[in-house]
Amino acid sequence: MAAWGILHTPSCLILHCSGGILMKYASVKFVCQMQTAGNFPAYAGSMLRGMLGSSLRRAVCMTQKAECSQCMLSATCVFPRLFVAAATPAGDGMAPMTPPPFCIEPPRDKKCRYLPGERFAFTLKLFSFAVEYLPYFVHAFSLAGQRGRVRDVEGRQGQFHVVDVLQNDISVYDAQAERLHALSPESLDFPALRPTAENGFFDLFLLTPLRFKQKNHLAAALPFSQLLHLILRRSKGLSALEKTIFHLPGEEFSFMKRAAECIHIAENFLTWQDWTRYSGRQNTVMKLGGLVGRIRYAGPVSVFSEYLDFACRVHIGKQTSFGLGHLAVQHGMP
């Protein structure tokens, strides 16, 4: 980002900024229909992420090496580009590894039992170069449906097929011909501080578990400073996909820190929610958990509105590719 100029006025603090980072972004909705009965786990995001990984690897891997790092094709293979973390550009201390360039938002109804003919839908968000790989995602999910979906904790399976892929409620997939129509990716702006610091409040809804660590321990509290840290970390990680670094100049960072210190928790209805996922790679059931619920912050929140909106689109915290860290914000004024 470019440097900030700071002007003091009697009513507010005004900042001027130029420059920024743009990233390709696309959000598509998969509509699937069950062919045989099947049971979904309580949280389907990890199941969808697991079936995607195993089916994509099966489809594109030519050498069947145990580790991509041992394969001479890894530099040009689709699978490691989408699933294997790599080091970020030098100097990025907050996000040492690039994140997966996608995240999956599972069905919102949390339905667990599906009968033949019933449909389910989920959202796939693609970041940066991953937008160009949508055909691979569609093919991988189609293969997963043919094979029978990845087993859940109970080990049950079910087959399905992809009947449609939608962008902004417009079909971009011909299931009969198995052809994708042209996608219209967006340009996602990385966040910047707003020019005025006006007092108000906002409600933050954690729609899926938010997992993060403080001092190497999973945290169960979310002060605004920690929320902001998570958004900054996510911004830095995603910017690495563009082979750049999301960086705050000193003056901007100082202003951000002062404004964040003035924001407090007005209401807190967050709770800890545990859930389990089956890891096919490790052949074990893993117990995971995170914060869910609603929390209200009050203070000069207008400064951070772009940061909040950005976080709602890209998720924050750990396991974002599973759909964890999904946020929604409702802005308000006192």
The CATH code of the domain that includes 231 is 3.30.70.1900
Residues 28 and 126 in one domain: yes
208 close to 104: Cβ distance less than 8 angstroms: no
For residue 151, the model assigns a pLDDT of: 53
Give CA separation, 121 vs 28, 145, 157, in Å. 10, 13, 18
Residue 15 in any domain: the answer is: no
What's the rounded Cα separation, in Å, for the pair 172 and 303? 37
9 vs 262, more confident: 262
Contact of 294 with 285, CB cutoff 8 Å: no
For the cut 80, the answer to whether the pLDDT of residue 15 exceeds it is: no
Q: Which amino acid is at 204?
A: L
Does residue 201 share a domain with residue 127?
no
Share of the chain above pLDDT 70, in %: 86
Closest CA to 307 of 231, 226, 246, 251: 231
Statement: residue 18 has pLDDT above 60: no
| pLDDT of res. 10 | 27
Q: Tell whether 202 is covered by a domain.
A: yes
Predicted confidence at residue 169, as pLDDT, reads: 95
Sign of CA dihedral 60, 62, 67, 72: negative
Model confidence at 203: pLDDT above 70: yes
| This prediction's pTM | 0.87
Whether residues 182 and 309 share a domain: the answer is: no
**Does residue 11 lie within any of the structural domains?**
no
For residue 243, give the DSSP letter: T
Task: Count structural domains, the chain.
Answer: 2
Same domain assignment for residues 195 and 285: yes
Among candidate residues 2, 4, 59, 1, the one with its CA nearest the CA of residue 259? 4
Whether 214 is covered by a domain: the verdict is yes
Q: What is the DSSP string of 250-300?
A: HHHHHHHHHHHHT-EEEEEEEEEEEEEEEETTTTEEEEEEEEEEEEEEEES
For residues 310 and 32, the answer to whether their CB atoms sit within 8 Å is no
Q: What is the band of 152 on the pLDDT scale with cuts at 50, 70, 90?
A: very low
> Span 46-53, mean pLDDT?
92
Q: What is the pLDDT of residue 226?
A: 95
For the cut 60, the answer to whether the pLDDT of residue 87 exceeds it is no
Q: Which amino acid is at 282?
A: Q
Task: Determine the pLDDT at residue 7.
Answer: 28
d(CA 294, CA 292): 7
Q: Is pLDDT above 50 for 91? A: no
Of the candidates 123, 144, 132, 249, the one whose C-alpha atom is nearest the C-alpha of residue 180 is 132
Both tokens of 37, joined, read 């009965």
Locate all alpha helices (DSSP H) within 93-214, ordered by sequence.
Answer: 134-147
> Binning pLDDT at 50, 70 and 90, where does residue 304 land?
very high
Residue 112: band (very low, low, confident or very high) from pLDDT cuts 50, 70, 90 = confident
The pLDDT assigned to 245 comes to: 83
145 and 183 part of one domain: yes
- Asked if 133 and 126 count as a contact pair (C-beta separation under 8 A), the reply is yes
Q: Which residue's entry shows tokens 């937008």? A: 131
Domain that includes residue 47, residue range:
23-187
Q: What is the pLDDT of residue 215?
A: 74
Kindly state whether residue 171 falls inside one of the protein's structural domains: yes
Per cent of the chain over pLDDT 90 is 58
Q: How confident is the model at residue 280 (pLDDT cuts 50, 70, 90)?
A: low
Residues 99 and 199 in one domain: no
Q: Which of these three, 152, 187, 222, is where a domain ends?
A: 187
Q: Does residue 140 sit in the same domain as residue 274?
A: no
Does 183 lie in the same domain as 89? yes
| Sign of the torsion angle spanned by Cα atoms 38, 41, 44, 46 | negative
Output the average pLDDT for the chain: 85
Q: Is 2 contained in some domain?
A: no
* Distance of alpha carbon 48 from alpha carbon 41, whole angstroms: 10
**pLDDT, tens only, 226-241:** 999 999 999 999 999 9
- 296, 204 Cβ separation under 8 angstroms: yes
37 and 105 both lie in a single domain: yes
Residue 12 has pLDDT above 50, yes or no: no
pLDDT of 86 reads: 63
**Lowest-confidence pick of 106-110, 135-139, 150-154, 235-239:** 150-154
pLDDT of residue 154 exceeding 80, the answer is: no
Whether 6 is covered by a domain: the verdict is no
pLDDT bucket at 117, cuts 50 / 70 / 90: very high
Q: Do residues 98 and 213 share a domain?
A: no
Of 147, 162, 187, the residue at which a domain comes to its end is 187
Would you say 271 and 293 are in contact if contact means Cβ atoms under 8 Å apart? yes
Residue 252's contacts (CB-CB under 8 Å, 6 or more residues apart) are 1, 3, 4, 15, 17, 193
Distance CA 133, CA 311 (A): 23
Which position has the token pair 């299931």? 175
Last residue of a domain, one of 154, 187, 220: 187
Is the domain of 169 the same as that of 277?
no
259 domain-assigned: yes
Confidence band, pLDDT 50/70/90 cuts, at residue 334: low
User: Which of the pair, 309 or 217, is modelled with greater confidence?
Assistant: 309
Are 150 and 92 in a shared domain? yes
Q: What region does 252 belong to: left with phi over 0, alpha with psi -120 to 50, or beta?
A: alpha
